[in-house]
Homo-oligomer: A and B are copies of this chain.
């Protein structure tokens, strides 16, 4: 029976890659629905995302591709199904709320397994959508202790991605290293401007005329992970920093949703400290 797969390939660039790969598809009578390639010439790397339809057996297809590609090639044959996500929040509702509304409408190819928070503020909102809410206090305990508790909960769950939807604590390197390319964060500034705490206050103090938001994978370098999506909105001298925060909130939620959609649709490659977005 005909099915669909997303093929993601990431390897050293070489002559004939498209030919060798498309030959595999051709020999199996697969149809190419869409196809995107990119060659990073500086680093001589090749990236390809192809959607094929037809009759295939995933492992066989993977083996066939591996047989014509360099040994180090990363090959993924993904038959689309909902990914599982866990959302971490603190107290602002706009990003979580936006994700919930979209999810309830079937916009995301995802199941939301749980919401974890160090505050109670968003418990009611979460429960309105019948999603488990875990409260893990961060008061009166060290970061290690707090994260230990969070990881115990995560250990009980089955998930592909963690989404930091305005989670206002910094995760330790230890934590981050457990989930490489699996944590998506929304930062409330147009990175790399205004790294760190209270970017809207910083933006206000600097007198900028545009503010923005950045969705990125979390790495062990704070606010330095590969950027997935960014957007901006104009402000004027009439915006106090709270007005900037409100205006910025609209950008944050749209940018986070866009990045999450891209990630859930397997459209994002990490390339060093950057992303390729197909």
Contact = CB atoms under 8 A, between A and B. Distances in A.
Contact of A230 (B31, B104, B209, B275): B209
A231 interface: yes
Nearest to A207: B274
Interface in A1-37: 15-20, 22-23, 25-26, 29-37
Contacts of A19: 19, 22-23, 25-26
A246 B31 CA distance: 26
Nearest to A202: B192
Contact of A192 (B26, B193, B240): B193
Contact of A238 (B38, B93, B192): B38
Interface in A181-214: 190-194, 205-210, 212
A250 interface: yes
Contacts of A31: 15
A101 B94 contact: yes
A231 B207 CA distance: 14
A158 to B, nearest CB: 26
5 nearest interchain CB pairs? A207-B274, A97-B101, A19-B26, A19-B22, A193-B193
Interface of A: 15-20, 22-23, 25-26, 29-41, 92-94, 97-98, 100-102, 104-105, 107, 125, 128-129, 190-194, 205-210, 212, 226-232, 234, 236-238, 240, 246, 250, 254, 257, 271, 273-277
8 contacts: A23-B23, A100-B101, A104-B125, A190-B190, A207-B227, A209-B227, A209-B230, A254-B254
